[in-house]
Amino acid sequence: MAAEAPHFLVVDDEQEVCNFFSYLLQKKGYRVSAANSGRQALELLGKHRFNVALVDLKLPDLNGLEILREIKKVQPACEVIIITGYSTVKSAVEAIQSGAFDYVEKPFGDIVEMERLLERALNVRAELEKLSISHKDLGFVVGTNKKMLNLVAAAQKIAKKNITVLIQGETGTGKEVLARYIHAMSHRSDRPFLAFNCGAFTETLLESELFGHEKGSFTGATSKKKGIFEMAHKGTLFLDEIDSASPAIQIKLLRVLETGEFLRVGGEEIIKVDVRVIAATNADLAARVEENKFREDLFYRLDVASLHIPPLRERAEDIPIYVNYFLEKETVEKGMPPKKFTDEAMEILQRHSWPGNVRELANTVAQAVLMSKGPWIEPGDLPPRIRPDVMKDKGEAAPVADSTAADGKTLFRAHPQGEKLSRLLEQFEELLTTGLDLKEGFDFASFQEDLKAWRDKVSAQLVEQALEVTYGSQVKAAELLKITPRALRYYLEKKKRDS
């Protein structure tokens, strides 16, 4: 017995559109049901099973997004293509993140491309398998989580359009990675991609970094300098922590987005650029607008297409995929012997809440690789901050690290690997004292100098890491290290003198 032909539902208040799709699909041997209103569509959903639905975004009685959600509720296997004739990209992107397969804009110009889209919707499993592949060259891992698949599907669609994108998500979810993916999928992929953190500079420096300055425009401006907008000409500019921009900078950003024009600091010549802007924030920008902390007009200019990255705790099923990806980067790509996590260790990783999201997971895998001694990474190789949660769940007491010096003072309490560092320190002390014959003499002063030099070197490395995380902001780096900016400058100056 031959398999029943696929069944399409067409929902549009324009009869001509229903006739167009009916003719196109029926000549391919497919079944078609048409509705001119949302109410008619819901009635048909109660009578028939559909493979694909084409739904107009604007209907006389119901919103297309409402029908999309109802279809996904009663017939989740039915793929939905949103039809829009209003150039409402924001709503179309929202539809894709709500589960729509794709969207098309009226009028339908390319019939061949339309037929390809309909065939892809019928073979959605193959499409999802393509999306679930890790984009290793971009450092972008999609996984199998439905929210992430919908997110990437939306990103792929808007990448081809020359529109501004707003990426929102918690710290560490991978907003810059998604921005790079959009750039790589766009027509600008052969042009520059520049990332810039708006929260890493004071207002004066931020203006100069974004728009450049003329020689002599302020103290220290010894030569003309191009801003990052000029350097990103024809390419993509990623503006992270956009909520940190001051009101004055927000006005200038609005003008660039509206006109593509700006003035360098101290300049009189209008500079014109062609730059695609992708902005990102971990703040609720809509709430900031309500609180009068962010310009409403700039918000709407940025929010043309909005993407929200779900936190890692909402896609725990994909943690093993991310772990294996980071594990390969830390071992195979660095020429180290391959390693694997034991089932017990992987279970702990999957039960952790991951407040630092994917970035925290990547750091945890890197630490576990360094701490493990053999081919298997055991629960004991995981950082202490990961293990206690699981031990509490099992009703066990977390082990107390015996990280004390000979005088009873606890060492390395502030470090997440304090327990293991203390054990290594004990081995170092034993090697030092047992392998030393004081009868032959010992240059104690030189040894003290070596210890001091080592301490200064480690301190400088930590300062450099903090500056890298904060994109060069000494004030923010000092806050992360819980020291004063003056103390941080001391370490920087000392490193400069010693080098």
As a whole number of angstroms, the distance between CA 297 and CA 53 comes to: 36
Q: What are phi and psi of 181, to 5 degrees?
A: -65, -45
pLDDT tens by residue, 475-492? 888 888 888 877 777 777
The tokens describing 289, both together, are 């607008």
Q: Identify the pLDDT of residue 129.
A: 53
**Which residues on neighbouring strands pair with residue 168, listed in sequence order?**
281, 308
Q: Identify the pLDDT of residue 434.
A: 58
Q: Identify the pLDDT of residue 157.
A: 81
Cβ-in-10-Å burial (0-12, 13-18, 19+) of 302 comes to buried
- Is 55 within 8 Å of 75 (Cβ atoms)? no
Site of tokens 């750039």: 183
Phi-psi label, residue 477: left if phi above 0, alpha if psi -120 to 50, beta otherwise: alpha
As a whole number of angstroms, the distance between CA 311 and CA 98 comes to: 17
The 8-class DSSP code of residue 410 comes to B
Amino acid sitting at position 62: L
Q: Identify the pLDDT of residue 259.
A: 92
Q: Identify the pLDDT of residue 203.
A: 81
Terminal Cα-to-Cα distance of the chain (whole angstroms): 81
The tokens describing 211, both together, are 């728009």
182: Cβ contacts below 8 Å, ≥ 6 apart: 155, 158, 159, 165, 236, 278
Q: What is the 3-state secondary structure (H, E, C) of 69-93?
A: HHHHHHCCCCEEEEEECCCCHHHHH
pLDDT tens, position by position, for the chain (499 residues)? Answer: 456 889 999 999 999 999 999 999 999 999 999 999 999 999 999 999 999 999 998 899 988 899 999 998 899 889 999 998 765 677 777 887 778 888 888 888 788 888 988 988 888 755 555 555 545 556 678 888 888 888 888 888 888 888 899 999 998 899 999 999 999 989 999 999 999 998 888 888 888 889 988 887 776 777 888 889 999 999 999 999 999 898 999 999 999 999 999 988 888 889 999 999 999 999 999 999 999 999 999 999 998 888 999 999 999 999 999 999 999 888 887 788 889 999 999 999 998 989 889 999 999 999 899 888 889 999 988 988 787 544 444 444 444 434 444 444 456 767 766 666 776 777 677 666 655 666 667 777 787 888 888 888 888 888 888 887 776 788 888 888 888 877 777 777 777 777 6
The 8-class DSSP code of residue 265 comes to B
The tokens describing 310, both together, are 């779900």
Q: Identify the pLDDT of residue 467.
A: 83
**Which residues on neighbouring strands pair with residue 238, listed in sequence order?**
195, 278
Q: Identify the pLDDT of residue 88.
A: 65
Classified as helix, coil or strand, 221 is coil
For helices 319-330 and 343-351, the axis angle rounded to 10 degrees is 120
Q: Around Cβ 311, how many Cβ atoms within 10 Å?
A: 17
The 8-class DSSP code of residue 270 comes to E
Site of tokens 């780096």: 477
Q: Identify the pLDDT of residue 406.
A: 42
Tell me, yes or no, if the pTM score tops 0.85: no
The 8-class DSSP code of residue 386 comes to T
As a whole number of angstroms, the distance between CA 240 and CA 242 comes to: 5
